[in-house]
Structure 1
Amino acid sequence: MDVVEGIFALIGDLTWGWSLIPFLVVLGIFFTLISKLVQFEFFGRMFRVLYSPREGTDGRRISSREALLVSVGGRVGGGNIAGVAVAITLGGPGAVFWMWAIALVGMATSLFECSLAQLYKRAEPDGTYRGGPARYIIFGLGEQFRWLAVLYAVCLIAAFAFGFNAFQGNTVAGAANDSLGVERLYTGLFLAALTAFIVYGGIRRIAKAADIIIPVMAVTYIGMALFVTLINLPELPGVLYSIVANAFGIETAVSGGIGAAIAQGLRRGLFSNEAGLGSAPNVAAVAHVKHPISQGIVQSLSVFIDTMIICSCTAFVILLGDVYVPGAQDINGVALTQQSLVSHIGDWAQYFLTFAVLLFSFSSIIYNYYLGETALTVFTESRAVLHGIRVAVVGVVFLGATAPAATAVFFFSDPLMGILALVNLVALTMLFPIGMRLLKDYRQQLRAGIDDPVLDVDAYADLNIDRAAWSDAK
């Protein structure tokens, strides 16, 4: 077992430690510059989806807004509460600035990967769609690269459907036990039952659940953070100065200085918003839209919501309080966020945070399951196998919740996510000219006065596109 753990530790070092983060950063900057700051150009258009819940759908398909909310639910998880606290503890307040920076360039990466997932999506018999990196590898790069799609799919199932779902179950059960005294067994049974109900309803039920959970989750947490900010408004300018000063080494809050701030900010930001990691495109592909870039723009908003809004809320709660002590690591993770919130508004805040963790983690569980289901279809469409993975995911959630040490079994999750991210980035780089072709088409239609551009499949006859998936785009 030690040998196996050592191998995966080496994979983790080679991906997250040496290649992945520089690749993500450089690629994000490259996409931003070559596209002429596309994420800022269409920033205003991103918000249209929030007040157009089911435009263009017939009740069978998933709307752009629903796909956005499923994606937000997956990106926004325990990392937004515990991960930000870890970044500040290890990297100082300056880490927050670099989380913001990587989110802004990551918005461009997300736009292109999600647009390609839309372009190469496939229509399902029930009227829904499937897509994602595995399919744009197979249909965009060609059958000779199917092995790469298979590698990606295996990593996606193992890391997200199993590994990360065990951790999410563990997070919820731990929070409920610490603040409410609820036994892990009961939390595990509740989570498992709720997970089974949602996943057996397929993507439609997942989308409907996200349509309810995510707005409640986001509004309550943002509202609480705004309240904390308002009651500490005189201290806000000082906190903002501290974030910028520590980011550029003007002040030093932790050992490692600016290097620690950059490393922790970039790492935690990328873990949180998932831009370029190849997970979100699987959900982006299910939306019914008229042009691939339309959903790419929407998915950029998902990155913005995750990091620029939700992560910032956690950062302000911590930095405006007196619990966080620069350089001290005796209080870390979710405990730092929890104690900071309590210091602002009282003991009842720990119950609120437990509720937030429950919603954040459960939204991630159903998102992670759908990623695994989509990856599974690369190998087989068998209903029996699909039933098997559903049972397995429900079991993993229960196991993670009831047996804290069981999450150690899934030590392979982060290294495998590193592999699938590298696979996705290689494919994304190779297909980037197609993404720019889509963007040029979208811009030309806007300049011609078409407010809602439409994909003309005939103009892309040289590509392996499923015409059935775009038959009614107009």
Structure 2
Amino acid sequence: MEVVTKLFTLLEDLTWGWSLIPILVIFGVFMTLMSGFVQFRFFDRMFRVLWPRNETADPNQISARQALMISVGGRVGGGNIAGVAVAITLGGPGAVFWMWAIALVGMATSLIECTLAQIYKRRTPDGAFRGGPATYIRHGLGESYRWLAVVYVICLIGSFAFGFNAFQGNTIAGAVNDSLGIDRLVTGCVLAIITGFIIYGGIHRIAKAADVIVPVMALSYIGVALLIIAMNLGELPRVLGSIFANAFGFEEAVSGGVGAAVAQGLRRGLFSNEAGLGSAPNVAATADVYHPISQGITQSLSVFIDTLLVCSATAFVILLGDVYVPGAEGVSGVVLTQQSLVHHLGSWAQYYLTFAVFLFAFSSIMYNYYLGETALVEFVNRPAAIHVLRVLVIGVVLLGASAPGATSVFFFSDPLMGLLALVNLVVILMLFPVAIRVLNDYRAQLKAGNERPVFDAARFPELDLDKTAWDPERNRPRQTSH
């Protein structure tokens, strides 16, 4: 066991320790430049998907908005509450600026990887769509790279479906126990039952649940933060000044100065928004849209919501209060966020935070499970295998919630996610020319006056595409999302 632990520790050091964060930053800047700042040029189009009139006309398909909500639900988790507090404690207020910066460049990375997932998506026997990195490895790079897809699938299931779901269950049970005194086992059983009900309904039930939970989750939390900002409006210029001054070394809040701010901000931003990690494309592929770039644009919005809105909400709650003292040893993590909320709003806020943690973490459980299912069926598309995965995920959630020490069993989660990200980044770099060709097709149609570009697979005969997923007759205009 010690040998295995050392192996995964080495893998984590080789990925998250020194190589992965600089690579993700470089990739984000590269894709921003090579795509012509696509995330800024199409920024206004991202929001069109939010309005009901833009929904798909086919109730049997996952709409662009539903796919967005599942993705936001997955990206937004306990890290947006606890992780941001840790970043500020270790990196100072300047970490918030670098968190924003990596989100802005990460929006381009997310657009490219999610576009590739749409390009190579496959229609399933029930008429739905599936896809993601495992699919675009096999059909984009060819069967000679099947081994790389296998590595990806193993890493995704091990990290997201199992490891991170154990941690999410632990987060929920811990928050409920601390604030309400409810035993962890009781919370774990309830959580396992709800999880089972939703995941046994498949992607459509997950999408419907996310379409309700995510807006309530995000809007209520952002609303509370806006209330706190309004209550402390006079302090806002000071806080903003502190963020920028610490980000560039004009002030030093913690030991390590600007270096600590950069490291913590980039790390928290990348962990939170998942741009380039190869997770969100699995959900992006499910959407029924006219053009692959359409859903790529939509998925960029999920990065914006996660970091620029939800993470920022936590940051302002903390920095506008008196609980956080720069450079001082004291409370950190979710406790810092909780005490900051109580400072601003009173003791009832700790119960609200428990509610927020529950919604944040539960939405991530649904998302993590679906990532695992999508990866599994790429190679083992049998009902029995899916059933086994569902039972295991329910068991993992129960274990993680009821036995806090059990999460140490899943020490391999972060190293596997690091390897997962490296595999995905190599693949999207190899397929980047394909994404740019499709992006140019989208731009050409816009330039020609077509406000709703339609993807014609026949124009890309050399690509291994599922023609039934891009049937021109079926794909006729019926919505206005992009």
Q: CA deviation at 1:452?
A: 0.5
Identity of aligned residues (%): 70
Residues 373 and 389 in structure 1, CA contact (< 8 A), matched pair in contact too: yes
Determine the C-alpha separation between the residues in 1 that align with 2:384 and 2:282.
22
Determine the C-alpha separation between the residues in 2 that align with 1:78 and 1:441.
39
The residue aligned with 1:369 is 369
Q: CA deviation at 1:55?
A: 2.6
Q: CA deviation at 1:382?
A: 1.0
| Amino acid of the structure 2 residue aligned with 1:473 | N
- Match runs of 1:60-209 below 5 Å: 60-209=60-209
Q: Cα RMSD between the aligned structures?
A: 0.7
**1:82-127: CA deviation from partner (whole Å, max 9, x where unpaired):** 0000000000000000000000000000000000000000001111
Residue 416 (structure 2) pairs with residue 416 (structure 1) = yes
Aligned residues: 474
Residue 265 (structure 2) pairs with residue 238 (structure 1) = no
**1:342-363: CA deviation from partner (whole Å, max 9, x where unpaired):** 0001000000000000000000
Residues 39 and 108 in structure 1, CA contact (< 8 A), matched pair in contact too: yes
Determine the C-alpha separation between the residues in 2 that align with 1:176 and 1:407.
17
Determine the C-alpha separation between the residues in 1 that align with 2:150 and 2:329.
41
The residue aligned with 1:259 is 259
Q: CA deviation at 1:327?
A: 1.1
The residue aligned with 1:10 is 10
| Amino acid of the structure 1 residue aligned with 2:353 | L
Residues 66 and 207 in structure 1, CA contact (< 8 A), matched pair in contact too: yes
- Match runs of 1:303-342 below 5 Å: 303-342=303-342
The residue aligned with 1:463 is 463
Residues 278 and 421 in structure 2, CA contact (< 8 A), matched pair in contact too: yes
For structure 1, which segment, 463-472 or 64-73, has the greater mean C-alpha deviation from structure 2 after superposition? Answer: 463-472
Q: Which runs of 5+ in 2 are unaligned?
A: 477-482
Q: CA deviation at 1:56?
A: 2.8
| Amino acid of the structure 1 residue aligned with 2:83 | G
**1:156-181: CA deviation from partner (whole Å, max 9, x where unpaired):** 00000000000000000000000011
**1:252-289: CA deviation from partner (whole Å, max 9, x where unpaired):** 00000000000000001000000000000000000000
Determine the C-alpha separation between the residues in 1 that align with 2:302 and 2:235.
29
The residue aligned with 2:41 is 41
Q: CA deviation at 1:329?
A: 3.3
Q: CA deviation at 1:54?
A: 6.0
Q: Which runs of 5+ in 1 are unaligned?
A: none
Q: CA deviation at 1:5?
A: 1.1
Residues 291 and 473 in structure 1, CA contact (< 8 A), matched pair in contact too: no
Residues 53 and 64 in structure 1, CA contact (< 8 A), matched pair in contact too: no
| Amino acid of the structure 1 residue aligned with 2:294 | S
**1:276-319: CA deviation from partner (whole Å, max 9, x where unpaired):** 00000000000000000000000000000000000000000000
Residues 48 and 54 in structure 2, CA contact (< 8 A), matched pair in contact too: no
Q: CA deviation at 1:378?
A: 2.0
| Amino acid of the structure 2 residue aligned with 1:162 | F
**1:355-410: CA deviation from partner (whole Å, max 9, x where unpaired):** 00000000000000000000101221111111000000000000000000000000
Determine the C-alpha separation between the residues in 2 that align with 1:443 and 1:210.
31
Q: CA deviation at 1:19?
A: 1.4
Which 4+ runs in 1 deviate beyond 2 A?
52-57
Scaled by the length of structure 2, the TM-score of the pair is 0.98
Q: CA deviation at 1:6?
A: 1.2
Q: CA deviation at 1:52?
A: 3.5
Residue 441 (structure 2) pairs with residue 441 (structure 1) = yes
**1:209-249: CA deviation from partner (whole Å, max 9, x where unpaired):** 00000010011101100001000000000000000000000
Residues 53 and 66 in structure 1, CA contact (< 8 A), matched pair in contact too: no
- Match runs of 1:373-412 below 5 Å: 373-412=373-412
The residue aligned with 1:290 is 290
Scaled by the length of structure 1, the TM-score of the pair is 0.99
Secondary structure of the residue aligned to 2:463 is coil
Determine the C-alpha separation between the residues in 2 that align with 1:177 and 1:166.
16
Secondary structure of the residue aligned to 1:314 is helix
Residues 64 and 287 in structure 2, CA contact (< 8 A), matched pair in contact too: yes
